[in-house]
Structure 1
């Protein structure tokens, strides 16, 4: 096996965007897919057309292994489609992933069915779901859970190992090692999404450094963001919430909407509220996200599988059974709750308010100054969340023009991604020959390359940094 026979193809749009992660590692007789996520731009037609398109380099029936970094849908969302097309290889995932993946993929299949109906009605397209529940079940039957720091031999010359990523629960970095008959070794590293070691540690491990890699595929999600994470953020956020609760719930008798992601963010926020307000909070907390409820139902499985320790397991049990929390599944119940005139806290999906019940709640809450919207971290550009944060006088929700008068609060300690300075320090610490930046805004990445090259030069690090294009092929 020589250098030219080991290649990596960037077969997902994460090469140029922050979604649709997928990377194909090929040797002369073995094909490994690293992640296989959905493209998500919140444009139903665009998403459908892009997700139906596959890189011609991916041959589902010829794949020998699929290795997944974590359960976010932009990293796992297209897996059932592979098995619909005849893939029969194992899917290797970090310990504790299976039940989370099951909930997320079943939900994705339902959304695809609903979206196909919308495309038929609004765009007169002959749209069919990318996959169905049967495809999800087929996909799940191939899942193998693997512990961190436990090398797995895929064949006589190829092995891989999971390293802690610190992003969300059961998230991992991946190291693939390839050894030829002459004993020459090549290593491919893939960070997946990596988290901050300075912020909340609920239900996850600290990120650990990958060993030496010939080639590293590294995330750059926040490489353009100038705000740095600090342990002080946690204390500051607690003070913000104390003031917000006093002003909105107790003084103004209003409602507080906290838009959340169903996986990780919901569970972190609930845990933070329990730890700091369990004895003082008088009002009820409503979790208005059916997907978040389902994930919370199986969250203890992921905690126990990762052996996070009795304290984490005990904490989540208390949080999940907190008598101040009510889970809302039925849509009619959610609509009725919006009309109740009493102070309350609502945790509703989705985090950036691109869809989900947080959008419906915004219609009711934004026009009144007594209410508040509390954001937990970054909001993507041109989203409803970013418009509300920018305090524009009116926002458009569906066909309605809504006054944006509610109080705004932004918490900074709940990010699940490493910030810019943490990315710089991490890539300075790691040993590799070449770094390919993915999963980030393309313009921000161009500037980040210059920053990293300058930082590497200061510490006499000779590693090179590149930005791949879609379907770029590199050799290890």
Structure 2
């Protein structure tokens, strides 16, 4: 009988990693993600895997976000040599994601080893390198949505649009179990149906077991109209104060959605005179990939961009400035007012946004707008929870900037959408909730039982279940 062992995103939001073992197909890894906010000293001082990477026969990757893909180079470094199945757009995004993560990792490692040298301690060796990233990319086996692919020994895999980010997939895996077919559906990250850019998640109706994310299992998002109105009001108030706006944004998904919202406001004459700075080389590169796929995305949201004359990076937002070099980024500090800065990292665990915080978060004229989920322990979560002092680059800095949260920008489905998605299954599958904090998963499980008599399991790290 096939089993699933949960090695990540079990009662936590990040680190997606689930091991499927079966007599017919061997060991299959669903995702291989890193924990958000993991720095070099933590990444290296802890054992990376609770299984032997060399024993894994293949990886099925739901999408390119690092909390689902970020440990693939470590997996390869430690002996994995099999195929990595993913969608075509994921294969385009993954090099950008993994090389950026490698750069940050190597910087962290150098910093940590300098500290160790000053204490007379030996250097920590790198867990992976550029060659490992290149080997990951060599392992990729991309294919389109809805195409069923034979992955050996009677097993089939098919991807459906999850509507979360470009290339994100719901995974349908069919296994042969002693002559009987068993079907597993893994939701990956399900998208928010009320957005401008992405398609709605596809509904499926047949499965023996469903692994479903529950990031927002305990709450709903504001509607698209309410979110646009709230954003316009926040920006209008910030402009009237003569301040600047800082938006920590994930390079994949959130940034592109945000650019579309800002463009819509500008077209409606509601953006004041903001100068918009996309201060993220990674986000710029990712957005260029999105531009290639615009006709495949939500036509209602982006039909004005599909004429060939406009893209998210070209001619749609007239005051958009692309800041690639570090010198460009530092030049923004000279602007005293009217700068709207979009920069990573999305949870403020590093990147250029932290430098902008250092220069501006102590000024009450300025505003920080959070447009995405902030995991426990991250600087973003600390600020959202109301911290009045933060430590940045070794300095204790007072927080006087206005802190705003727009949860309508979320790329994840809210509670009602999650319940609606899983209720489409007609085969009474076993439901397992992953990728969510305990309170969110418990709330979702209670609602599923109340509304549809679905008894959902909530595994902890290391749990194994049969199906």
- Asked if the contact 1:255–1:371 (Cα under 8 Å) also holds between the matched residues in 2, the reply is yes
TM-score by length of 2: 0.89
Structure 1 residue corresponding to 2:407, chosen from 408, 412, 416: 412
In 2 relative to 1, CA 376–128 (structure 1 residues): closer, same or farther, beyond 3 Å?
A: same
Partner of 1:112: 105
Instruction: Measure how far apart 1:279 and its partner are.
Output: 6.6
- Asked if the contact 1:157–1:180 (Cα under 8 Å) also holds between the matched residues in 2, the reply is no
Alignment of 1:69-218 (within 5 A): 69-123=62-116, 124=121, 126-179=123-176, 182=179, 184-197=180-193, 199-202=194-197, 204-218=198-212
Instruction: Measure how far apart 1:151 and its partner are.
Output: 1.0
List runs of 5+ in structure 1 lacking aligned partners: 458-462
Is it true that 1:229 corresponds to 2:221 in the alignment? yes
- Looking at structure 2, the residues matched to 388 and 79 of structure 1 have their Cα atoms a distance apart, in angstroms, of 31
Cα deviation per residue 1:133-154 (whole Å; 9 max; x = unaligned)?
1111111112122111111111
SS of the aligned residue for 1:429 comes to coil
- Looking at structure 1, the residues matched to 395 and 190 of structure 2 have their Cα atoms a distance apart, in angstroms, of 38
- Asked if the contact 1:161–1:176 (Cα under 8 Å) also holds between the matched residues in 2, the reply is yes
Is it true that 1:437 corresponds to 2:433 in the alignment? yes
Cα deviation per residue 1:76-134 (whole Å; 9 max; x = unaligned)?
11112233334332211112112210111111122222222122223446322222111
- Looking at structure 1, the residues matched to 266 and 390 of structure 2 have their Cα atoms a distance apart, in angstroms, of 32
Instruction: Measure how far apart 1:269 and its partner are.
Output: 0.5
Partner of 2:351: 356
Alignment of 1:218-257 (within 5 A): 218-224=212-218, 226=219, 228-230=220-222, 233-249=223-239, 251-257=240-246
Instruction: Measure how far apart 1:207 and its partner are.
Output: 0.6
Aligned residues: CA RMSD: 2.5
In 2 relative to 1, CA 43–80 (structure 1 residues): closer, same or farther, beyond 3 Å?
A: closer
Alignment of 1:40-79 (within 5 A): 40-50=36-46, 52-56=47-51, 58-60=52-54, 62-79=55-72
- Looking at structure 1, the residues matched to 265 and 206 of structure 2 have their Cα atoms a distance apart, in angstroms, of 41
Is it true that 1:319 corresponds to 2:315 in the alignment? no
Is it true that 1:36 corresponds to 2:38 in the alignment? no
List runs of 5+ in structure 2 lacking aligned partners: none
Cα deviation per residue 1:250-292 (whole Å; 9 max; x = unaligned)?
x333211111111111111011111221474433211111221
- Looking at structure 2, the residues matched to 171 and 316 of structure 1 have their Cα atoms a distance apart, in angstroms, of 27
- Looking at structure 1, the residues matched to 98 and 309 of structure 2 have their Cα atoms a distance apart, in angstroms, of 23
Tell me how many residue pairs correspond in the alignment: 454
Instruction: Measure how far apart 1:411 and its partner are.
Output: 2.0
In 2 relative to 1, CA 205–447 (structure 1 residues): closer, same or farther, beyond 3 Å?
A: closer
TM-score by length of 1: 0.87
- Asked if the contact 1:428–1:455 (Cα under 8 Å) also holds between the matched residues in 2, the reply is no
- Looking at structure 1, the residues matched to 380 and 177 of structure 2 have their Cα atoms a distance apart, in angstroms, of 51
SS of the aligned residue for 1:257 comes to strand
SS of the aligned residue for 1:395 comes to strand
